[in-house]
Amino acid sequence: MEISTAYLPNRVFAPEGARGAPRVFIAPQRYVQGKDVLGQMGRYLSLVGARRAAILISAGGRSRHGALLEDSLRAAHIDPIFALFGGESSLEEIEKHAAALKSEKADCVVAVGGGKCIDAGKAVAFRLATPVVVAPTLASNDAPCSALSVLYTPAGVSTGVEFYPSSPALVVVDSGIVAAAPERFLVSGMGDAMATWYEASVCLRNENAATAIGARPTLASGAIGEICAQTLFEQGVAAAAAVAAKRVDDSLEAVVEANTLLSGLGFESGGLAAAHGFAQSFTALPVTNERFLHGEMVAMGTLAQLVLEDRPDEARRVAEFFLRVGLPVHLGHLAIDAADAGALDTIVGQVLGFPFIGNMPMPLDAGTLRRGLLGAHTLGLAVGQQMDDAAYRRLHAA
Ligand SMILES: [Zn+2]
């Protein structure tokens, strides 16, 4: 995984490494979540003083939400400039929009869409030196609140990460739009969000661990991760049922906040560890990368991390939750053959190269990582035999 050198937060916060580094907490300036808030975008944009707002949105997104956004901006005397997002958070896409919007004199970038559109929007705003406003239409990922983007080739292969000195000025989450999206996206977001607490916990306990910006985690990010996990355990099943019925209720609002705000703040200032190391590594297997969402891969990574930590009871509790909502709990659920030594070698090799795998408190080598992953696989199979994976099969049918 490459890291862009345009802005390197660890040079600012911890040039000597994590030991002795300060605790740093980063967050967006405003987070707004509720039903129908997208239609209030013009009013919210007054907070950033926008006059000519670029709206980065896919063609489908524009046909669904374009008129609503345009009316709202015009009512607030803001000119909308629509920029059609092509689908990939690639440097080609980003530079193209940055050049076009510079000549349009856009004074803010509003990214409306999924994780890749949001990541591209942050990168475009950085190049224009304008604030970025993020309006996720899915609760499948924790991109909205962070000051970094994951970049991909135009073909969709992850190439690295770019950091920004500013967090999003405003995050606007319309829970009505999130509720209208397929259930699988919300469930995938729960997989991503559930990792937050376990990853932040190992980073807090390991004095050599560093967050994504090179700093030490704060207690605040640990507490946020903990309430995130608790919210999912208590309300995740009800929230998935709400989305399946296209209904906004309190459980959906709670889980949308967990997936978007709590997970985002928790990972950025709390730190990543083996759960995301495995998740990133599964993307090296083309079939898995094509068929599965980030949070689904993080779910399996979380089980592997808990096995590496030697916490079988917690791993079992998490696997039971994952099965209830329809997340993967064994390698077969990610279309990986556990007997395929080549695939396991690929995964383990990638995990060893993950920049934050050293946040785990124990020494890890290829053998321990392989045993951790296979241990999680075996545990997931056993839990699956007791509980049935009907929710997984329903979400992955067709
Ligand atoms: Zn993630």
Question: What is the mean pLDDT of the segment spanning 194-202?
Answer: 97
Å from CA of 276 to ligand 1 middle: 6
Q: Kindly state the percentage of the chain with pLDDT values over 90.
A: 91
How many other CB atoms are there within 10 angstroms of residue 247's CB atom? 12
How many other CB atoms are there within 10 angstroms of residue 70's CB atom? 18
Residue 26 pLDDT > 80: yes
Question: What is the mean pLDDT of the segment spanning 45-60?
Answer: 97
Going by pLDDT thresholds of 50, 70 and 90, the confidence category of residue 10 is confident
pTM: 0.95
DSSP for residue 18: S
Mind giving me the DSSP string for 37-104?
GGGGHHHHHGGGT-SEEEEEE-HHHHHHHHHHHHHHHHHTT-EEEEEE--S--BHHHHHHHHHHHHHT
pLDDT at residue 207, rounded to an integer = 92
Q: Which pLDDT tens digit goes with each residue over 298-319? A: 999 999 999 999 999 999 999 9
Q: Which pLDDT tens digit goes with each residue over 326-370? A: 999 999 999 999 999 999 999 999 999 999 999 999 999 999 999
Which run of H or E residues covers position 112?
A: strand 108-113
Residue 1 pLDDT > 70: no
Å from CA of 160 to ligand 1 middle: 14
Report residues near ion ligand 1: CB below 5 Å.
192
User: Which range is least confidently modeled, 153-157, 209-213, 308-312, 355-359?
Assistant: 153-157
pLDDT at residue 18, rounded to an integer = 75
393: which 2 tokens?
A: 């099969």
pLDDT at residue 159, rounded to an integer = 83
Q: String of b and e for 26-48 (b: at least 16 CB within 10 Å)? A: bbbeebbbeeebbbbbbebbeeb
Question: What is the C-alpha separation between 110 and 242, in angstroms, rounded?
Answer: 28
Pairing of strands 148-152, 158-163: antiparallel
Tell whether the torsion through CA atoms of 208, 214, 218 and 222 is positive or negative: negative
Å from CA of 118 to ligand 1 middle: 14
pLDDT at residue 247, rounded to an integer = 94
Residue 183 pLDDT > 70: yes
Å from CA of 263 to ligand 1 middle: 8
Å from CA of 297 to ligand 1 middle: 9
pLDDT at residue 28, rounded to an integer = 97
Å from CA of 191 to ligand 1 middle: 8
Question: What is the C-alpha separation between 178 and 183, in angstroms, rounded?
Answer: 9
- Under 8 Å between Cβ of 270 and 217: yes
